[in-house]
Structure 1
Amino acid sequence: IARHQGNEYWCQYREDGRFQLTLPSDLAIDDIEQFEIRFVDAPIRVTSKSPLILEPDHNAKPSPTTREQLKAKMRKMLTASPDERQELVQAFTEFLGSEEVEETDLVGVQQIVTFLESKGDLQLASQLCHFALEQFSNRPDFTSQIDWLKSTASRLSIVGKPLQIHGRIAMTSEELDWSAYENKLVLVQFWATWCGPCKGDLNLALSLHDQYSEQDFCVLGVSTDTATGQLARFLNDSDFPWTTIHSPIDADDSLSKQFGITQIPFNFLVDKNGRVLAVNLRGEELAKFVAMRLKSNTP
């Protein structure tokens, strides 16, 4: 059976390996080259139009599938412009809505959402996240991905909402009193002893603490380490002037799972009313934001 623009036609297989079609006399085909033949995994070329003869071109490179095209776009994400990021999300949502989705496709959603968030494009990240949830929230075979999407969607929409932090203080095992951070500008910094980039973020947090601790700015560390002994040694050596709670990433009630955090370093900046001001600001961008906020004396 030969297909052309959604229509199917019987064709005769010839001894020379080609296919001959007899089309209805009243049928006009604008682009006669756009044929495919069922069970023939190769591009089809027309070798004769009268009679109509089709031949599989086994030497031709097959056209990339939609999934392959999307993977190629994803490989260029790091250098993508805002418009290209928008196009990628649009292409991915169209794909998710029309194709038979595999588990690896939702892993792709996770990668794109994480990348968009790192670029501060929270609205676009949230758009893709919520679309995937609407499409696949009832799929039992995607449980882990759906759980990640739910927690991530919650985090992406958290700016402007109250933040609640719970956990036990690393060195004493006492329960954290989150109410002690009321009326302060709080940097909640997620990190781990094994994370190289985290050390740079902790150094910046220390610098901000030294500059602004007398202006109601403070830091709360959240270690995601699983090794308690290694964390204790690191904290003893570092002697940070702030509280650090221990919330192992593999714990059922970990803050990382609660907020859908899959990469560290990560942070929340919380205003004096306990509401999230910003998510994952880093480096100079974070330093400028903190300075501006304290200078304006805005709650």
Structure 2
Amino acid sequence: MPANGTQPIEDAALAASGRRVFEIEQQGLAAVGARIDGAFSAACRRMLACSGRVVCLGMGKSGHVARKIAATLASTGTPAFYVHPGEAGHGDLGMITDADVVLALSYSGESDEILTLLPVLKRQGNVLIAMTGRPASSLAREADVHLDVSVPAEACPLDLAPTASTTASMALGDALAVALLDARAFTADDFARSHPAGALGRRLLLHIRDVMHTGDEVPRVRGEATLAEALMEMSRKRLGMTAVVDGEDRLLGLYTDGDLRRTLADPGIDVRGARIADVMTRAPVTIGADALASEAARLMETRKITMLLVLDDARRVVGALNIHDLLRARVV
């Protein structure tokens, strides 16, 4: 017998126990999903009409689920936050205004900390949406809208630890958030604005102008420059390229490290006497400053290049960037 007193158990038995949890929780999700009806729609409409925020309440495991639902709502266009019912009874109730909708989670529907708050919330005029597993419970009876999250069984074999019920509650919270997202025509750009530090935010909010080199940092030579002068400019600016421009800074062409290798491999070119206009790429891939940085990454990938010049509407060179700039910005 192991030192901790537990009986030896086979791997197959452990796996079977894990699969049984999935089966029970799937049954719970199916049961709650089948009850998405007029009450669900009513809850959504109350939240859509809310001029304040959705305040999520819950104790214990229901509290953890309520926190997650509040976070999901807030990130998908429905202002929301979590308040601990116990703390609310000792002053934090002042965080809830009469413009707020209250979403209260309690599987039993009898959590004392939540029931204690109901008279104050009712007197204040808050809309109360309850999520319980007992339609006849005190919380369900007092609610303006009741959402039934009862499940056939908990996955816990002792039927004690909240398992299938918390999974179902979280799924119903996700369903509310997504239904509201659809109703608000919430877009990926809207999502990115509330996630500016995440990968999606960087892809959808970061523009070329935010990462490009400008001014004297942009390598450029005139069309009459020699190849040697262009190489010196490339060495000074260290972007692996130089723009070739006319007297108005309008783009004539581009010369890169790759072009240099091809020039050196061409026996018909006199490297010492060549002019940059004779060896440059005359129609390089370019991009505008208002484009998303993610578009630059896509262009570089599809065109098999590692650098871009940035032009304005008059085809003047206003910036430059390479793959390292996108890597530093964590766009790729």
Q: Same fold (TM over 0.5)?
A: no
**TM-score w.r.t. length of structure 2:** 0.30
Q: So what's the TM-score if we normalise by structure 1?
A: 0.32
Larger Rg over CA atoms: 2
